[in-house]
Chain A
Amino acid sequence: MDWKVVAANYPLLLKGLLTSLQLTFVAIAFSLPLGCLIAIGRLSHRTWLSRACTAFVNVLRSNPLILILFWFYFLIPLITGQSVNDLTSIIIAFVVFFSVYFAEIVRSGIQSVGNRQIQAGLSTGLTYAQTMRFIVLPQAIRAMMPALITQCIVVFQGTTVVYVIGYSELLHTTSMIAERTVRPVEMYLAVAAIYFVVCYSASLLARRFEKGRA
């Protein structure tokens, strides 16, 4: 083992990690709000809206992330005849794919608050939207924090699929270095350690939220 290769390529790894984190943050920043909308749509009393959102969730959940990425990366440019920037197709694929998972977490969080709280809010003359905003969502968010953080970890790990289209996030950067230096064992162990540190600290955070509720 020669760990010097890791130290020598430290700036590149760091850059790769930053790219992965940026992808993760942008994906979450768009897919979480979209997920909230889908969740509210699924819970709606308007049957067509609820059905449409449910169908969307079921279709997306029944497909692997990598396939969704292919769709947006290869097929959309083919269909529309317009070239789409790499990063744009990656982000769109991530947002579409992960939004349904966030939607399911948000939906179960909202349902955990229960109808009686909604009725209490409505009975005081608040509108449905106000009841959601002031009564249901604050409680739901607290209930779903652990699951949300866990899902964010999954998003972070999911960013590795852009490897297949050669986008230089952490894993792809690592593989390039491994190839160039012919030191795959050290490089892949090092990158495993990086993923572990990031994901495990996030899961510790999730656990703290879980304890805070108890």
Chain B
Amino acid sequence: MPDPIVRVEDVGLRFDKFTALDGVSLSVETGQCIVICGPSGSGKSTLLRCINGLERFQAGEVFVDGVRVRDNTDLPKLRRGIGMVFQHFELYPHMTVLENITLAPIRAKGVPRAQAEKLARDYLERVGIADQADKYPGRLSGGQQQRAAIARALALEPKVMLFDEPTSALDPEMIAEVLYVMRDLARGGMTMLVVTHEMGFAREVADEVIFMDRGRVVERSGVKEFFTAPRADRTKEFLNKILVKF
């Protein structure tokens, strides 16, 4: 069995007196799509941010593609291999969509401009907004902005993609178009770690679901098992709350 692409070992993180992560361990194999869910404040987003070194954790270890994150002296290099998509898109408002996408390839990876632009247009095509390349983010709908942000992350040609509640800030009618792009990515073999409350997406696309609460991993299981036969009481309670019964 090959080494997992992301390995989180017993990670602990405290902010003053609040324990954000309390001994979290998980691993993601290449090509897997794993959904992390749980109530707000359970540490899901914090966990993602520990994986690409945006958050410093005090205990445990994280390895991405065998590279140690803690005490890493070249975080930019590490992050070039990890795409991240944020809840509020975080496109750069003073740059066009195309410039948003080419900035990191050109400046961080040294890709020639012409090649970077070609790559950017390819990814915009892939997320279905090739015609928006020269507009400023403010001119795009929320769904288009998030797809542009996904293209920006993809343009790094990352080994793994982290999604931090990518649809939580979107109007309902725009959620579908973003989920469609993500499903397409997962089916294309992209390794994905997705924090989301979209249980429909989890059921359809994820290989495994992780349930977190109060900074701990409560349950990790295959999709079918997670939804039909959750082991932990806390998971059952959570699922009962969020799964609307008709």
Contact = CB atoms under 8 A, between A and B. Distances in A.
A125 B79 contact: yes
A120 B77 CA distance: 15
Given A125-B76, A125-B77, A116 B88 contact: yes
B6 interface: no
Contacts of B152: 124
Contacts of A160: none
A119 B104 contact: no
Contact of B156 (A125, A127, A130): A125
Contact of B79 (A122, A135, A138, A142): A122
Given A130-B107, A134-B103, A134-B107, A125 B90 contact: no
A69 to B, nearest CB: 39
Contacts of B238: none
B93 interface: yes
B31 to A, nearest CB: 22
B109 interface: yes
Contact of A138 (B52, B75, B94): B94
Interface string A125-166: 111001000110011001000000000000000000000000
Given A125-B156, A134-B103, A120 B90 contact: yes
Contacts, number: 61
Contacts of B80: 124-125
Contacts of A126: 76, 103-104, 107-108
- Counting contact residues on chain A (CB < 8 A from B), the size range is 10 to 19
A83 B80 CA distance: 56
Given A116-B86, A134-B103, A134-B107, A123 B54 contact: yes
B82 A123 contact: yes
Contacts of B79: 122-125
B108 to A, nearest CB: 4
Given A117-B92, A119-B54, A124 B153 contact: yes
Contacts of B104: 124-126
Contacts of B82: 123
A123 B84 contact: yes
Contacts of A125: 76-77, 79-80, 104, 108-109, 156
A116 B49 CA distance: 12
Contacts of A130: 107-108
Chain A at the B interface: SS class: helix
From A122, A124, A127, A139, name the one whose CB has the most chain B CB atoms within 10 angstroms.
A124
A214 to B, nearest CB: 13
Given A122-B54, A134-B103, A127 B90 contact: no
Interface in B86-107: 86, 88, 90-94, 103-104, 107
A182 to B, nearest CB: 57
Contacts of B88: 116
A121 to B, nearest CB: 8
Given A125-B156, A126-B76, A135-B92, A120 B86 contact: yes
B107 A116 contact: no
A123 B108 CA distance: 11
A124 B94 contact: no
From A123, A126, A139, name the one whose CB has the most chain B CB atoms within 10 angstroms.
A123
A12 B148 CA distance: 60
Interface in A83-133: 116-117, 119-127, 130
A40 to B, nearest CB: 19
A126 B78 CA distance: 11
Nearest to B162: A123
Given A116-B88, A126-B107, A139-B92, 17 more contacts: A116-B90, A119-B54, A120-B86, A121-B92, A122-B54, A123-B82, A123-B153, A124-B79, A124-B84, A124-B152, A125-B79, A125-B80, A125-B108, A130-B107, A130-B108, A139-B94, A142-B94
Interface of B: 49, 52, 54, 75-77, 79-80, 82, 84, 86, 88, 90-94, 103-104, 107-109, 152-153, 156
